[in-house]
Amino acid sequence: MTADSADIRTAVVTGASSGIGAATARALASAGYRVVLTARRKDRIEALADTLPHAEAYALDVTDRAAVDAFARSLDRFPSVDVLVNNAGGALGAEPVATGDPADWRAMYEVNVLGVLHMTQALLPALTASGDGTVVVLSSTAGHATYEGGGGYVAAKHGAHVIAETLRLELCGEPVRVIEVAPGMVRTEEFATTRFRGDSDKAAKVYAGVDAPLTAEDVADTVAWAITRPPHVNIDLLVVRPRAQASNTKVHRSS
Ligand code: 8X3
């Protein structure tokens, strides 16, 4: 940390190695934050951090509580920790409930729910001490309505949504905002490919014929906007979808 960066506010972004997390790290750096990028893939976050002012990379698996606690202790070197963006998450599989793999459900619960819990619990003391802390939960429209084949992802994202709602109630009166951003269809390099276990044809069908799915930058823009409102303004829930998607089950596709 250099002397001229001593009074810069610090934002932690999980899952910052690609997609919405990487775009959010870039957006917050542009907004003047020191960004601590975390993800399991150290090479990717280091490469991105090298392109951003005051940014740092820290390899972290949010499902590993001991590692999360060690990470939280490492933040003591900063004057304050002001923002936590819980972005790490994802979908595995699109099977119906009847045939979904319990191992996939467990893995999705671990990262989408317990990952948010670990990070929030570990950083909350510092966020509160900052006097103006912000917790962001990147949930999903899958956390608000279900769809066939949504399976364990829908269940897990409902869990993430409930963390945000409950935490906001419990922190009322504390100097910490709790913001939930729930994106709909976002075309990123990895979301659908991961969900379909590397099957790029199935992944491409998710977006087939859709005029302009959201980009990671579109979502990052909304996250940065919500964070940069004045401290007394809490954007409880921001649902953002492409114009071509009216609901999880109504998407306009050209032939
Ligand atoms: C992603 C939205 O519709 O694929 O979080 O569940 S959806």
Instruction: Kindly list the strands in the beta sheet with 176-183, ordered across the sheet, starting from the edge strand earlier in the chain.
Output: 56-59, 34-39, 10-13, 83-86, 133-138, 176-183, 237-240
Rounded to 10 degrees, the C-alpha dihedral 36/42/43/49 comes to 0
pLDDT for res 3 = 42
Q: Is the CB of 142 under 6 A from ligand 1?
A: yes
pLDDT for res 13 = 99
Concatenating the DSSP letter of every residue in 59-87 gives E--TT-HHHHHHHHHHGGGSS---EEEE-
How far is 76 from 107, CA to CA, in rounded Å? 30
Whole-number Å distance, alpha carbon 223 to ligand 1 midpoint, is 17
Which of 185, 247, 249 best tests ligand 1's pocket when mutated (most atoms within 8 Å of CB)? 185
- Catalytic sites, residue numbers: 153
Phi, psi dihedrals of residue 55, rounded to the nearest 5°: -85, 155
Average pLDDT of adjacent 10-residue blocks, the chain of 255 residues: 69 98 98 98 98 98 98 98 98 97 98 98 98 98 97 97 98 98 96 94 95 97 98 98 97 90
The domain made up of 3-251 is a member of CATH 3.40.50.720: yes
pLDDT for res 7 = 80
Q: In this structure, which residue's CA is closest to atom 6 in ligand 1?
A: 142
Q: Is the CB of 141 under 6 A from ligand 1?
A: yes
